[in-house]
Structure formats: structure tokens, C-alpha cells
Structure 1
Amino acid sequence: MDTRKAVANRIVELCKARNITPNALSYRAAVPQSTIKSILNDESLNPGIVTIKKLCDGLEISLSDFFNTDVFSNLEQELT
């Protein structure tokens, strides 16, 4: 799994755990729905850390909570 897919999967996982939709997250995080859609549909080449931080704020978690999963710990280094 690559980093972009890991980010998208984590967002979906966290939304499900909180019983909210990506659209609701958009409102809570003040991130455009189109931005979240592009991340979830693997259209975003680089979901920036500022965007991920806003999403974390909307989910009421820290950045370290977002990335503290086996999926991110086991990602291969991307050199491209």
C-alpha cells in the first residue's frame, strides 16, 4: 500500500469509528468537500500535512494519533 492510499483508508476508518460521513468531516474540519473527495478517490497527488492536520482537528485527534497505526509504521520508503 502506498502513502496516499494509507491516508485515504485512515480517513475512512476514522469517519466510520465516529459515525460521520466525509461530508460531515468536511464541515467539521473546514476542508472543502472536493479536497476530501480527491484524497479518498486517490486523485490527490499529495494530501498536504496542513490538510491532514485540519482533518485531525475535525476528528478531534492529534496528528500522532492519525499516523500511529501499523499501516503507517510498515509503509515502504517511497523514493519517487
Structure 2
Amino acid sequence: MNLESAVRKRIEELLKEKNLTLTNLCLNSNLTPSTVFDFMYGKSKSPKIITIKKLCFGAGITLEEFFARDYFNDESDVVN
């Protein structure tokens, strides 16, 4: 799984785990909905780490918890 897909998958998991809509997560994270929607629906790639950190804050988790999934360990996505 590539990194963008892994981040999207994790955000989708968080929405289910926290019983949030994408719009509510954006509001909780102090992010504009377009920033997150554009990434989630493929209009932009690779969100900045600060965006992910804000999403974590909005979901009430740490960056460590966000990335604590096996699918983030796929080394085939590493660019040499």
C-alpha cells in the first residue's frame, strides 16, 4: 500500500472509531474542509505532517497512535 493510501485508510478508520464525519474532524482540527477533502478524494497528494498532526489533535490521538499500524511499515513505498 502506498503512503497516500495508508494515510487515507487511517483517516477513514479514525472517523469510524471516533464516530466523526470528515467535516467534524476538520472543524475539530482547525483545518479547512477543502484541505482534507481534496486529499481524501484524490485531488491532492501527500498531506504535510502538520496537517496530519492537526487531524490527530482533532481526533484526540497522538502522531504515534496515528502511525501505529502495520500498513505504514510497507517499505515498497520508500523512495531511494
What is the TM-score of this pair, normalised by structure 1?
0.91
- Following TM superposition, by how much is the alpha carbon of 1:75 offset from its aligned partner in structure 2, in angstroms? 4.3
| In structure 2, distance between residues paired with 1:36 and 1:45 | 10
In 1, Cα distance between the equivalents of 2:27 and 2:79? 34
8 Å CA contact retained: 1:3, 1:75? no
SS of equivalent to 2:77 = coil
SS at match of 2:45: coil
Alpha-carbon distance in 1 for matches of 2:2, 2:42: 10
Shift of 1:76: 1.9
Q: Which residue does the alignment assign to 1:38?
A: 38
Q: Deviations over 1:34-79 (max 9, x none)?
A: 0110111122222000000000000010001000101102342332
Deviates further, 6-15 or 41-50: 41-50
Give structure 2 stretches of 5+ with no counterpart: none
**Paired residues, what number?**
80
- In structure 2, the residue matched to 1:78 is 78
2:27 paired with 1:23: no
1:1-50 Cα offsets, whole Å, 9 max, x none, are 11011101100111111111000001000011001101111222220000
Partner Cα distance (1:9, 1:77) in 2: 15
For structure 1, list consecutive stretches of 5 or more residues without a partner in the other structure.
none
